[in-house]
Structure 1
């Protein structure tokens, strides 16, 4: 039998903005060598908030985060925005189901969505004449899916109610 879900406090908008801003800052860090294995942290934030706070974080905010990523990564304007908007749209179609999944099942959904994100960005680059990248480009979604439970447990901390002591 599943354990009951805990009641959570309402989330403050500044926590959403702070988490997205931190994800954008992480995307900007010069981490050197093998950053292709790092997940798209901004996409993880977009997916987390779209799944867990759909009334506060929707397609418009996903688009704006995508535009911010396009500017910060010096990529084609609209590339991240298109990917984030499309995956957020897909999340909104099944949000009520996905939010009820356990973290392992959510990680599989996130894996599929991160792979779709990468595919959209890859298709956009190739369509605009960039050289195609290798299959290593598609390894970061797997790392993102592995990190999903950790990301979820960190982002839910401000919503947890204090335990009576």
Structure 2
């Protein structure tokens, strides 16, 4: 266990902020590039604080996201629970990867998330996302180091020098 004491309020505030970022309107040109903020923030907590996050938190955040975003009820819950399960299974390895490998792992998870979403939409007969949306995992992968360092700094109260 780390000697650094983390702040308990950072987890709910960061998840709430991720939900709000998903609600921000974007121009139609940038809409396909919107990263899945909730998955990125949840991935951080699943990797760094597994004792405070897990499948239940992923399910609850997914249900809340479904209600806020107006999608299929349970779709985001399923997507986030799958992401959480994979991260919990491979946490011991991913946690100690260099940042470049963590970026690739998170990119793969975000790509898997889009595949799960597409399968759900096909199964229930909903229209799938256009091909332009398949670029969003790349942006999420590129944002991973920033999100990781930012949440680490806020969580432990470190300041830049």
The answer to whether TM tops 0.5 is yes
**3-state SS, counterpart of residue 94 of structure 1:** helix
Give CA deviations for 1:31-55 in whole Å, capped at 9, x if unaligned. Answer: 2222110100011011111111111
1:157 maps onto 2:153 in alignment? yes
Q: Among 23, 28, 33, which residue is 2:18 paired with?
A: 23
CA contact 1:36–1:139 (8 Å) conserved in 2: yes
Conserved? CA contact 1:27–1:42, under 8 Å: yes
Aligned to 2:129: 133
Measure the CA separation in 1 of the matches of 2:120 and 2:103.
25
Structure 2 Cα separation of the partners of residues 113 and 94 of structure 1: 12
In 1, the alpha carbon distance for the partners of 2:67 and 2:23 equals 11
In the TM superposition, 1:16-95 aligns within 5 A as: 16-33=11-28, 34-95=30-91
Runs (4+) off by over 3 Å:
159-163
After superposition, the CA RMSD in angstroms is 1.8
Q: How many residues matched? A: 158
Tell me, yes or no, if the aligned pair for 1:9 and 1:159 is still in contact at 8 Å: no
Q: Which residue of structure 1 aligns with residue 140 of structure 2?
A: 144
Structure 1's unaligned 5+ residue stretches are 1-6
The CA deviation at 1:132 is 2.8
SS in 2 for 1:13: coil
Whole-Å separation in 1 of the counterparts to 2:157 and 2:20: 29
TM-score of the two chains, using structure 2 as the length reference: 0.91
Distance 1:22 1:8, change over 3 A: farther
Unpaired runs of 5+ in structure 2?
none
Larger Rg, first or second structure (1 or 2): 1
Report the TM-score when normalising by structure 1: 0.89
Change (3 A) 1:152 1:136: same
